[in-house]
């Protein structure tokens, strides 16, 4: 639609090159090649440069070569081998993925920035990019999580948008990167509520109501100040409608559903990790599949309630109960995700999650535990702990103030 007459094409950069970032580069590059009227074929992938030696188990390891066991730059390896041997081994990348260690150069003139970075690097990378991108660029955050402080709660997509003064949507789903890299079938949800001039399509298909960007700044969240500064996409570019954004991500093995609920998609990705801990606790008790399914169901409804309470203007129940980012991601996370497995292990061994993190994860913190603490400190400050009995139970179990066995009592509705 509406691509005839477009003089320019969208340049796409993947900001990040870990397991998920490299996978995203692969599928996006397949799509830029398949949609030459919309996108420039070359996809830049920003690589946090490091020196690595090709692992001995790699198909590219050649003991006879003079480069064997010699450290080489990761970006150069990606570009010569068309593989990220460190973070996504054994997956061939399309030749139109170009690794670039210079963040500013990688994003220069890009109209679409796809953020796939660990949470803690986002602020620094945005600081480097600030002022060095086209002012009408649009972003999609594939990183899951929320920023919580005394001031309130902010979606990661919001943080990116505010720091760069651009619009930022979100992608989240039941997505294990290595499975997608192998082209095993999965689904995802992309939330993109396009600024009206971008889509040239006032009511995008499948979107409840098109809305202004500042809709995602809810009453209880940190207010956004950027909508006034948002620059429209120049008309020489193909519009960034739901249809065209979908073409950037959708593959035969990666089915995309577009929604407009950025807050719902972002919250799902963060809150499901608390639910996975609860499911792990109950499963660790040996209570069986009924109990686990019950906890998952209650968890999904608390995710809905959280969205409705604090992002009332923009959140739709169906994002949590009907989309891949909601119900399907909860299912995947509670079948075998890391939060689930560690919580289950803690109960089975009679030790704290803290101890599991120390002994099994080299002290690395689980996403679920940090989110549980952040969400609890936010709920407490709002005086709303009681309205979220499962989230509160998980926090209290982590704190040693409640036991997994109490979960049924704690989450039973009081009449």
Cα–Cα distances in angstroms (integers) from residue 345 to residues 58, 333, 398, in the given order = 32, 15, 14
Region binding its own copies by CB under 8 A among candidate stretches 50-58, 93-101, 270-278, 295-303 = 295-303
Hey, which residues does 146 pair with through a beta bridge? 155
Identify whether the C-beta of residue 28 lies closer than 8 Å to the C-beta of residue 251. Answer: no
- Catalytic residue selected from 9, 11, 272, 292: 272
**Closer of 306 and 378 to its own copies (Cβ):** 306
Region binding its own copies by CB under 8 A among candidate stretches 23-31, 260-268, 352-360, 403-411 = 403-411
**Closer of 53 and 396 to its own copies (Cβ):** 396
Structure tokens at 312: 């009332």
Sheet of strand 97-100, all strands in order from the earlier edge strand to the far edge: 97-100, 39-46, 10-15, 112-115, 138-141, 167-172, 186-191, 254-259
Q: Is 251 annotated as a binding residue?
A: no
**Closer of 32 and 319 to its own copies (Cβ):** 319
Q: Is 121 annotated as a binding residue?
A: yes
Binding-site member from 83, 193, 198, 323 for its own copies (CB under 8 A): 323
**Closer of 133 and 258 to its own copies (Cβ):** 258
Considering the rule CB under 8 A, would residue 406 count as an interface residue with its own copies? no
Output the smallest distance, CB 271 to its own copies, in A.
16
Distance CA 256, CA 250 (A): 5
Q: Is 31 annotated as a binding residue?
A: no
Q: Which of 260, 139, 247, 242 is nearest to 200 (CA)?
A: 242
Considering the rule CB under 8 A, would residue 297 count as an interface residue with its own copies? yes
Q: Is 378 annotated as a binding residue?
A: no
**Closer of 147 and 283 to its own copies (Cβ):** 283
Considering the rule CB under 8 A, would residue 294 count as an interface residue with its own copies? yes
C-alpha 404 chain-centroid distance? 29
Backbone phi, psi, residue 194, to 5°: -65, 135
Region binding its own copies by CB under 8 A among candidate stretches 116-124, 134-142, 145-153, 297-305 = 297-305
Backbone phi, psi, residue 51, to 5°: -100, 125
Distance CA 11, CA 109 (A): 7
**Closer of 294 and 382 to its own copies (Cβ):** 294
Indicate if 272 belongs to the active site. Answer: yes
**Closer of 11 and 292 to its own copies (Cβ):** 292
Hey, which residues does 169 pair with through a beta bridge? 140
Distance CA 265, CA 174 (A): 12
**E-assigned strand segments in 74-126:** 97-100, 112-115
Considering the rule CB under 8 A, would residue 329 count as an interface residue with its own copies? yes
Considering the rule CB under 8 A, would residue 410 count as an interface residue with its own copies? no
Distance CA 226, CA 318 (A): 28
Output the smallest distance, CB 79 to its own copies, in A.
29
Q: Which residue has the tokens 């809905």?
A: 304
Region binding its own copies by CB under 8 A among candidate stretches 18-26, 42-50, 214-222, 248-256 = 248-256
Q: Is 18 annotated as a binding residue?
A: yes
Distance CA 91, CA 79 (A): 13
Per-residue contact flags (x/-) with its own copies for residues 351 to 390, judged by CB under 8 A? ----------------------------------------
Considering the rule CB under 8 A, would residue 175 count as an interface residue with its own copies? yes
Considering the rule CB under 8 A, would residue 186 count as an interface residue with its own copies? yes
Distance CA 37, CA 352 (A): 55
DSSP 259-310: ES-HHHHHHHHHHHHHHHHHHHHHHHTT-HHHHHHHHHHHHHHHHHHHHHHH
Q: Is 338 annotated as a binding residue?
A: yes
Size of the site for its own copies (CB under 8 A): 42
Region binding its own copies by CB under 8 A among candidate stretches 27-35, 41-49, 318-326, 389-397 = 318-326
Identify whether the C-beta of residue 187 lies closer than 8 Å to the C-beta of residue 255. Answer: yes
Which residues make up the interface to its own copies (CB under 8 A)? 173-176, 179-180, 184-187, 252-253, 255, 282, 287-294, 296-297, 300-301, 318, 321-324, 327-329, 331-332, 335-336, 407-409, 412
Please identify every residue annotated as catalytic.
272
Binding-site residue set for substrate: 144, 338-339
């Amino acid at each position: 639609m509406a691509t005839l007459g477009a003089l320019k094409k969208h340049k796409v950069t993947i900001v990040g090159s870990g397991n998920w970032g490299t996978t995203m580069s692969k599928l996006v590059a397949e799509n830029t090649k398949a949609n030459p009227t919309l996108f420039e074929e070359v996809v830049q992938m920003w690589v946090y440069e490091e020196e690595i030696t090709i692992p001995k188990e790699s198909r590219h390891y050649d003991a006879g070569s003079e480069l064997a066991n010699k450290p080489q730059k990761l970006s150069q390896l990606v570009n010569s081998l068309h593989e990220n041997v460190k973070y996504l081994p054994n997956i061939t990348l399309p030749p139109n993925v170009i690794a670039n260690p210079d963040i500013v150069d990688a994003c220069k003139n890009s109209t679409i920035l796809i953020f796939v970075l660990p949470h803690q690097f986002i602020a620094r990378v945005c600081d480097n990019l600030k002022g060095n991108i086209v002012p009408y660029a649009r972003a999609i955050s594939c990183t899951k999580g929320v920023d919580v402080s005394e001031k309130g709660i902010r979606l990661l997509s919001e943080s990116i948008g505010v720091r760069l003064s651009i619009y930022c949507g979100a992608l989240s789903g039941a997505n294990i990167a290595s499975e997608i890299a192998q082209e095993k079938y999965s689904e995802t949800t992309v939330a993109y509520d396009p600024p009206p001039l971008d889509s040239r399509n006032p009511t995008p298909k499948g979107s409840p109501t098109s809305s202004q960007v500042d809709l995602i700044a809810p009453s209880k969240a940190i207010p956004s100040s950027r909508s006034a500064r948002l620059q429209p996409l120049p008309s020489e570019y193909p519009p960034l409608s739901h249809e065209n954004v979908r073409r950037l991500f959708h593959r035969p093995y990666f089915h995309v559903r577009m929604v407009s609920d950025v807050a719902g998609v972002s919250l799902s990705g963060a809150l499901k990790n608390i639910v996975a801990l609860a499911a792990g606790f109950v499963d660790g008790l040996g209570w069986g599949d009924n109990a686990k399914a019950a906890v998952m169901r209650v968890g999904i409804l608390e995710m809905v309630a959280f969205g409705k309470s604090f992002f009332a203007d923009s959140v739709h129940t169906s994002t949590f109960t009907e989309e891949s980012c909601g119900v399907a991601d909860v299912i995947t996370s509670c079948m075998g995700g890391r939060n689930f497995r560690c919580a289950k292990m803690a109960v089975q061994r009679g030790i704290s999650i803290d101890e599991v993190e120390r002994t099994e994860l080299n002290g690395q913190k689980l996403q679920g535990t940090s989110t549980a603490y952040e969400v609890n400190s936010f709920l407490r400050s709002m005086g709303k702990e009681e309205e979220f009995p499962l989230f509160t139970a998980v926090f209290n179990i982590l704190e040693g103030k409640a036991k997994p066995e109490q979960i049924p009592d704690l989450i039973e509705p009081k009449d």
